[in-house]
Amino acid sequence: MFAIICRRKLTIPLQNCIFIRPQFYPPILAKKSFSSSDVHTDDPKQSFTISYLINSCGLSSNDAVSTSKKVCIKSPENPDAVLQLLSKYGFTNAHIPKLVVRWPQVLVACPDKTLSPKLEFFCSFGVPVAILAQKLSLYPLILQRSLENYLIPSYNYLKSLVQSDEKVVSVFRRAPRAFAHGWQREISTNIAVMRERGVPESSIVSLVVYQPSLIILGKNRLSDYMDRAVEMGFDKSKIVFIHALQVFGDMSESTLKRKMEVYGKCGWSESDITGAFLRFPLCMTISEKKIIANMDFLVNEVGCKPGDVAQSPVLLGLNLDKRMRPRWLVVRILKTKKLLKKTNSFTTLFKMSEEIFLKNYIMRYQEVIPQLLDFYQGKLSLHELVDS
């Protein structure tokens, strides 16, 4: 089954707009010192465009020259209004150059009729302006789409699927390009295939919300991932099936193989690796550094066998310094003072919620060891606790 995991390579018209010249210069970027002689050009219009791109939009000289071949700025009125509008919606000095290089025509778009309604639309269902600016500067094709014929229908389709604006925002954060390419067109076929294969609706929604890039893959590629997961033994009715698809979609074949080699060096057998992957596929997405550190702690400090950790691979994804080690030290202190008559397994100890751990291992012994909570929270050293 080890071989199955790594068996194959997965690879509005402008003339209709009315512009009002602002009373102050709106661009949010600090002006640079530039003259037409800095960049050689015999075209005065291009010279003005280059100057504006550098001084007002923050482009480098090279980017400005290249971009000036795609857009012509005759006067600053409309670009000024555009930059002022973008500033209102969270676009900063870091966003403006990226946006303009990717979509130079934004500077000649109508701010009131073309841009403002779309920006307001995304804000209306909860997209924070900081996220909006970050994503749109990278995927400006979204702003080029029709609001009524494209963006609103795409939102309605997605909302009907995931059932909340909060989840729609989550999808926008993770896969903004999907809003540029269209949800209805791209994912309806994949969703239909998953439904036909018996994947429950809750799992489909989870995939759309937390791994939306997978759902816009070509049908054949997603089907291939599903076939691999089924062949390995994943139950399509369980959420781990979706996690397996996520691993196949996110990781190259070489990266997946290298991660398995790391686990092998940590003492896992081939069956351990396969079993751990079936229990917790996301164990393959944990960084090599974290795997080694957590395995070292669990084996050399807690006393677990490597195979025991393979039975609970979720432990490798937990925070070592903020969760596992502090909890383990608390248990050792309580054992030293003979306050613990019965202890949970190491798996239960590290996996239990913070609320339950505090109740069972901290608050219960507050009168006997008043500073135990401070120690657990890192406000007190072990030496200070022992001497108190």
pLDDT the model gives residue 235: 92
Q: What are the structure tokens assigned to 307, written together?
A: 């195979």
pLDDT the model gives residue 342: 79
pLDDT the model gives residue 5: 62
pLDDT the model gives residue 27: 45
Q: What is the pLDDT of residues 225-240, one digit of tens each?
A: 999 999 999 999 999 9
Q: Among 129-133, 172-176, 317-321, 377-381, which stretch is predicted with the lowest mean pLDDT?
A: 377-381
Q: Among 39-43, 198-202, 261-265, which stretch is predicted with the lowest mean pLDDT?
A: 39-43
Q: What are the structure tokens assigned to 78, written together?
A: 């409309």
Question: Average of pLDDT values for 311-319?
Answer: 96
Cβ atoms of residues 65 and 87 within 8 Å = no
Q: What is the pLDDT of residues 93-141, one digit of tens each?
A: 999 999 999 999 999 999 999 999 999 999 999 999 999 999 999 999 9
- Percent pLDDT > 70 in the chain is 86
Integer angstrom CA distances of residue 171 from 98, 157, 162, 185, 208: 22, 13, 10, 16, 7
Question: Average of pLDDT values for 305-318?
Answer: 95
pLDDT the model gives residue 16: 37
pLDDT the model gives residue 2: 54
pLDDT the model gives residue 285: 94
- Which position has the higher pLDDT, 292 or 24? 292
pLDDT the model gives residue 178: 76
In angstroms, the CA 150 to CA 272 distance is 48
DSSP string, 261-329: HHHHHTT--HHHHHHHHHH-GGGGGS-HHHHHHHHHIIIIIS---HHHHHHSGGGGGS-IIIIIHHHHH
pLDDT the model gives residue 6: 60
b/e map 157-178, b = 16+ CB within 10 Å: ebeebbeeeebbbbbbeebbeb
382: pLDDT confidence band, cut at 50, 70 and 90? confident
Q: What is the pLDDT of residues 147-158, one digit of tens each?
A: 998 899 889 888
pLDDT the model gives residue 216: 78
**pTM here?**
0.71
- Which position has the higher pLDDT, 328 or 186? 328
pLDDT the model gives residue 43: 65
18: pLDDT confidence band, cut at 50, 70 and 90? very low
- Residue 40: pLDDT over 70: no
pLDDT the model gives residue 349: 94
Q: Among 212-216, 220-224, 270-274, 275-279, which stretch is predicted with the lowest mean pLDDT?
A: 212-216
pLDDT the model gives residue 193: 87
Q: 107, 81, 109: which is closest to 19 by C-alpha?
A: 81
22: pLDDT confidence band, cut at 50, 70 and 90? very low
- Residue 15: pLDDT over 50: no
pLDDT the model gives residue 45: 64
Question: Average of pLDDT values for 357-380?
Answer: 91
Cβ atoms of residues 316 and 294 within 8 Å = yes
- Residue 28: pLDDT over 50: no
Mean pLDDT score of the chain: 86
